[in-house]
Structure 1
Amino acid sequence: MVTDTAHRHTHAVPVHEPPAAIRATGIIAVLTVAIALVAIAFALPAARTAPHAVPIGAAGPQSASGEVAATLQKQAPGAFTITYYPGEEALRDAIRNRDVYGGIAFGPDGPRLLTATGGSPMVAQMLTQMANGIAAKTGVPLATEDLAPPTVQDPRGAGLAASALPITLAGLLPAVALVLALKREVWTRFTAVVIFAGVAGVSIAALLRYVLGSIDANFWGVAGGLSLGILAAGLTMLGLGSLFGRFGLALGAVAALLIGNPLSGLTSAPEMLPTGWGQLGQWLPQGANATLLRSTAFFDGAGGALPIVVLTCWSLLGIALVVTAALTIERRGAR
């Protein structure tokens, strides 16, 4: 009798699932929405790429500079913000310090267009086209000079732009793998992320220098900046995963891939993205890392102070989340 009762209790309770057709429809609907979100995140910034208050400069007689400003405003309203400088040297300093992307200097030898392709190839090309148009209308020859030229091996800066997604993944994937593989070893995961950030920063810099030929100066500055950017993204991801588990990892991954990466501005410039979105991207690890990369690669670190502050804050946030997760695990273990 006891055996029969025990035998009866071992039968599994039937689970009522929706019909297969309904489940398949649900999967298709979820995937459709997911693909649409990915397409919007990556395609919309590219489709809406246009200048929005791009800072440029003008130097020389106020009348000539004012004429340029009026022409640009007529051709592309709201596309540029022009700062006036007393002379060509002041404009050059502003470009080298990344205060402006380029500008036109008027002097006794005629107008000279000063660009900085390393700051943004897209903006430099756009300025060249507009300056040539102005020169054609006025009939005055225009000299050009690139103060931050690209490398001979990568004249269009394609390698640097293409590195945006790999850099994002370098800050994302190690944290995901470590959280899933090491369930409770919080400090082992932390140490691994820190070491990986340094190794990855040097590795990506080496690829940019020796394989792609996208940089040819300040190798260790580039490597250090990349390491800080990867560390900031990695520690934030690790903190979210350590504290909130799979939900935290999913949240961090979505934010990094669908928001941070498209809004980084590395493929164009923050001012070329839709108004407000480019500025938002600069406060995220991916955008700050992109700006720091261009600063270290072409401007000897100029313009990199704010990105360093942003990345440091994200790193500290990640550390705080990791510490909170470690304390939570210890309290659970004590119980």
Structure 2
Amino acid sequence: MTTESLPRHTRHAAPSHEPPAAVRATGVVLVLAVVVAIVAIAFALPAAHSRPHDVPIGAAGPQAASGQLADLLEQHAPGAFDITYYPGEEALRDAIRNRDVYGGISFGPDGRTLLIATGASPAVAQLLSQVGNGIAQHAGVPLRTEDLAPPTAEDPRGAGLAAATLPITLAGLLPAVALVLVLKREVWTRFAAAVVFAGLAGGTIAALLRYVLGSIEGNFWGVAGGLTLGLLAAGLFLLGLGSLFGRAGLAVGAVLALLLGNPLSGLASAPELLPSGWGALGQWLPQGATATLLRSTAFFDGAGATMAIAVLACWALAGTVLIVIAATRNGKELRAAR
């Protein structure tokens, strides 16, 4: 009797070398625990170890150049500030409006004036107010405070922009993942859909910030355009990774965006308030550049946005190059299969 004539139920399957269910479950639990720990560290570590370091501020007036202000600041906040001296109060005001410095103190004939810009960073503005009031109390001289980029009346603490950090990251991440998984080989259809989505999402987030949260008041189209560029930079680069390397590329890009780009964006505080070196790194990533561009367009009519625009344009260009390479490779594979 041949093997083929045996009843089906008498044949024996090859022995399985798969680990027991308990071992597999233990492995899943341990891997997930490690992932959760890494996520917690990525988000909590910058906040836990944040402190001001070399925050650029200005000082104006004859008394400012004497060095007394630098000594007082070093006493109240060692290593926190990097001071630039300006010939007069108007020059200091221009520097703040151009986002060269976060604020400063003017020594004028009418007394001392603390100039802040909450729109650049509520956290830095609060820090400057605390230090300035401490110096005023120490010197026994009144200090007048003026905000050159005040928050809106509906969002006086600037919480809306800070809360937009994660939605901006997800808006650049999720469409690329979905498009690569749903459209298996239609590379240029993915590209077109990603560009359209970036425009829609940028306008939607800007509308939420303006009309729902009340976090911005003017330059709506500038804010929408900046957000669109930021989402294009993040989305096209991740889409390029996914188009060229498949799910592995998506995984690497998503991990970098969530565990590095998002916590280092500085939108909730300021790059100079993050651990030394990490804040500067964040500004070279799409999320950090988008955060800077968002504040520049929302409160400073685009001032100080040049570097952020250049960084985002480079990420978008890099993503487009990866997509072109993937499309070329797919075309060759299709021609070879015919």
Q: TM-score, normalised by structure 1?
A: 0.97
Q: Which runs of 5+ in 1 are unaligned?
A: none
Correspondence list, 1:110-121, <5 A: 110-121=111-122
Residue 255 of structure 2 aligns with an amino acid whose one-letter code is: V
DSSP 3-state at the match of 2:246: helix
Residue 222 of structure 2 aligns with an amino acid whose one-letter code is: G
Contact 2:64–2:85 at 8 Å: present in 1 too? no
DSSP 3-state at the match of 1:265: coil
The residue that corresponds to 2:215 in the other structure is 214
DSSP 3-state at the match of 1:311: helix
Correspondence list, 1:146-295, <5 A: 146-295=147-296
* Superposed CA offset, 1:207-230 (max 9, x none): 000000000010000000000000
1:98 aligns with 2:94: no
Distance 1:95 1:258 in 2: 32
* Superposed CA offset, 1:130-173 (max 9, x none): 00011011111100100000000000000000000000000000
Contact 2:114–2:145 at 8 Å: present in 1 too? yes
* Superposed CA offset, 1:295-321 (max 9, x none): 000000000000000000000000000
Q: Which runs of 5+ in 2 are unaligned?
A: none
Distance 1:145 1:97 in 2: 16
Deviation at 1:62, TM superposition (A): 4.1
Contact 2:206–2:223 at 8 Å: present in 1 too? yes
Identity %: 72
DSSP 3-state at the match of 1:55: strand
Residue 146 of structure 2 aligns with an amino acid whose one-letter code is: E
Contact 2:65–2:85 at 8 Å: present in 1 too? no
* Superposed CA offset, 1:42-84 (max 9, x none): 0011111210100000000145662111111122221110000
The 10-residue stretch of structure 1 (6-15 or 80-89) with the greater mean CA deviation from structure 2: 6-15
Aligned residue pair count = 335
Contact 2:230–2:289 at 8 Å: present in 1 too? yes
Correspondence list, 1:302-313, <5 A: 302-313=303-314
The residue that corresponds to 1:85 in the other structure is 86
Distance 2:227 2:197 in 1: 12
Contact 1:65–1:84 at 8 Å: present in 2 too? no
Contact 2:64–2:107 at 8 Å: present in 1 too? no
Deviation at 1:12, TM superposition (A): 3.6
Deviation at 1:10, TM superposition (A): 7.2
The residue that corresponds to 2:123 in the other structure is 122
Contact 2:154–2:214 at 8 Å: present in 1 too? yes
Distance 2:192 2:110 in 1: 59
Distance 1:225 1:125 in 2: 26
Provide closer, same or farther for how the CA distance between residues 65 and 201 of structure 1 changes in structure 2, counting only shifts above 3 A. farther
Distance 1:197 1:11 in 2: 55
1:71 aligns with 2:72: yes
The residue that corresponds to 2:132 in the other structure is 131
Distance 2:302 2:26 in 1: 53
Residue 5 of structure 2 aligns with an amino acid whose one-letter code is: D
DSSP 3-state at the match of 2:67: helix
Deviation at 1:32, TM superposition (A): 1.2
DSSP 3-state at the match of 1:106: strand
Provide closer, same or farther for how the CA distance between residues 194 and 65 of structure 1 changes in structure 2, counting only shifts above 3 A. farther
Residue 46 of structure 1 aligns with an amino acid whose one-letter code is: A
* Aligned alpha-carbon RMSD (Å): 1.5
Contact 1:233–1:315 at 8 Å: present in 2 too? yes
Distance 2:221 2:333 in 1: 43
Contact 2:57–2:101 at 8 Å: present in 1 too? yes
Distance 2:247 2:85 in 1: 52
Distance 1:221 1:89 in 2: 26
DSSP 3-state at the match of 1:113: strand
Distance 2:151 2:125 in 1: 11
Contact 1:102–1:115 at 8 Å: present in 2 too? yes
Contact 1:201–1:223 at 8 Å: present in 2 too? yes
Structure 1 runs of 4+ aligned residues shifted over 6 Å read none
Correspondence list, 1:309-328, <5 A: 309-328=310-329
Contact 1:42–1:258 at 8 Å: present in 2 too? yes
Deviation at 1:235, TM superposition (A): 0.1
Residue 291 of structure 1 aligns with an amino acid whose one-letter code is: T
Residue 185 of structure 2 aligns with an amino acid whose one-letter code is: R
Contact 1:59–1:65 at 8 Å: present in 2 too? no
Residue 331 of structure 2 aligns with an amino acid whose one-letter code is: E
Provide closer, same or farther for how the CA distance between residues 200 and 56 of structure 1 changes in structure 2, counting only shifts above 3 A. same
